[in-house]
């Protein structure tokens, strides 16, 4: 069983946001919701999520801009971002995703895919923390 996480969901489509909140809450995770990049930036001032699930295309501040804000202001979180998109082949996003080596969930996705991605992300994090603890 995976330890409960604090997850920030940044998604402009309310139905997707609610469905993800329901499913992840049932799995025992604490959920923070933002409808756009601006709301997410506001939440990040007072909350430190374990992982950020963010849509790439949103009105206002797009996912790419939000990621740069996270990388600049909250560098420990930049390796804990998972991008959700329905169009990874869009030229302007494809190179950026590759460059930043971000995990991508293709919409529509199964929640088992999300769960597997979270497990993989945090298995690696836990191994790194154990190595850091042994070295220090």
Interacting residues of 78 by C-beta distance below 8 A, sequence separation 6+: 67, 70, 71, 100
The pLDDT value given to residue 56: 87
The pLDDT value given to residue 91: 54
**Across the 136 residues of the chain, what is the mean pLDDT of every consecutive 10-residue run?**
90 95 95 97 97 92 92 94 80 72 87 91 64 54
The structure's pTM equals: 0.86
Residue with tokens 């993989």: 120
The pLDDT value given to residue 131: 54
Among candidate residues 116, 7, 19, 100, the one with its CA nearest the CA of residue 54: 7
CATH top-level class of 6-135: alpha beta
């Amino acid at each position: 069983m995976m330890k409960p996480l604090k997850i920030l969901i940044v998604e402009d489509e309310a139905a997707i946001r609610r469905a993800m909140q329901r499913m992840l809450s049932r799995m025992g995770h604490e959920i923070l919701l933002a409808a756009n990049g601006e709301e997410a930036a506001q939440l990040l001032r007072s909350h430190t999520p374990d992982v950020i699930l963010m849509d790439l295309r949103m009105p206002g501040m797009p996912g790419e801009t939000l990621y740069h804000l996270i990388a600049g202001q909250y560098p420990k979180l930049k390796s804990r971002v998972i991008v959700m998109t329905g169009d990874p082949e869009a030229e302007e996003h494809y190179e950026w995703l590759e460059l930043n080596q971000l995990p991508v969930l293709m919409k529509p996705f199964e929640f088992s895919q999300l769960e597997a991605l979270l497990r993989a992300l945090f298995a690696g994090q836990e191994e790194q923390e154990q190595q850091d603890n042994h070295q220090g």
